[in-house]
């Protein structure tokens, strides 16, 4: 086993696998339908699991900074990142319900209505309510949207093609992919 992990590339892959296991374990702690992970005890376990994941991540960062890795190591890192995001895609949102407001604001704009004009519970928006998104919107009874115009443009664009959380998650993953590409370009420019 130690021989197998002697290579920096293999140690990196092992850390990636450890992160994947920890992230799937963290997802398993969540109680579907709960606002948070479900209870104080579960929250404490969740924080502990995430702390273990942070430790594994820091060990992986240390390895990348200190060892000479083959160019293929980048594909290992990106591959684990994609798999971890794929695990989150079908999972219901938890720890924050903000994504439901993003979807709602997109639906409101797709209907040609300014999301700053009405609170979601306003009778003028009753025809837009659905069973999947509307019940889960935060502050729907007293607050219009708080998101700035640039974010609203994104929500509106997504609202034209998707009326669900998965579509919004995919859009956010697209922005993350753009960020990764920009970071890779900066690293290449810096000779890293």
- Rounded Cα distance between 187 and 183, Å, is 6
Provide long-range contacts, Cβ within 8 A and 24+ apart, for 144-148: 144/115, 144/116, 144/117, 144/118, 144/119, 145/101, 145/105, 145/115, 145/116, 147/101, 147/102, 147/105
pLDDT tens-digit series, residues 122-176: 999 999 999 999 999 989 999 999 999 999 999 999 999 999 999 999 999 999 9
Question: What's the whole-model pTM score?
Answer: 0.82
Contact 79, 86 (CB under 8 A): no
pLDDT tens-digit series, residues 67-81: 888 888 989 999 999
């Amino acid at each position: 086993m130690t021989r197998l992990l002697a290579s920096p590339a293999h140690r990196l892959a092992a850390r990636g696998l450890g992160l994947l296991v920890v992230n799937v374990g963290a997802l398993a702690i969540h109680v579907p339908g709960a606002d948070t992970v479900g209870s104080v005890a579960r929250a404490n376990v969740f924080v502990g699991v995430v702390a273990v994941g942070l430790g594994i991540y820091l060990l992986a960062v240390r390895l990348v900074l200190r060892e000479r890795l083959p160019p293929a190591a980048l594909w290992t890192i990106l591959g684990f990142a994609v798999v971890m995001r794929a695990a989150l895609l079908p999972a219901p949102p938890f720890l924050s319900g903000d994504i439901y407001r993003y979807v709602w604001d997109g639906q409101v704009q797709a209907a040609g209505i300014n999301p700053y004009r009405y609170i979601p519970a306003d009778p003028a928006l009753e025809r837009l309510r659905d069973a999947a998104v509307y019940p889960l919107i935060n502050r729907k009874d007293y607050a219009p949207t708080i998101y700035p115009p640039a974010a609203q443009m994104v929500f509106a664009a997504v609202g034209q093609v998707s009326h669900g959380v998965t579509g919004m998650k995919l859009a956010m993953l697209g922005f993350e992919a753009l960020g990764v590409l920009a970071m890779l370009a900066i690293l290449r420019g810096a000779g890293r």
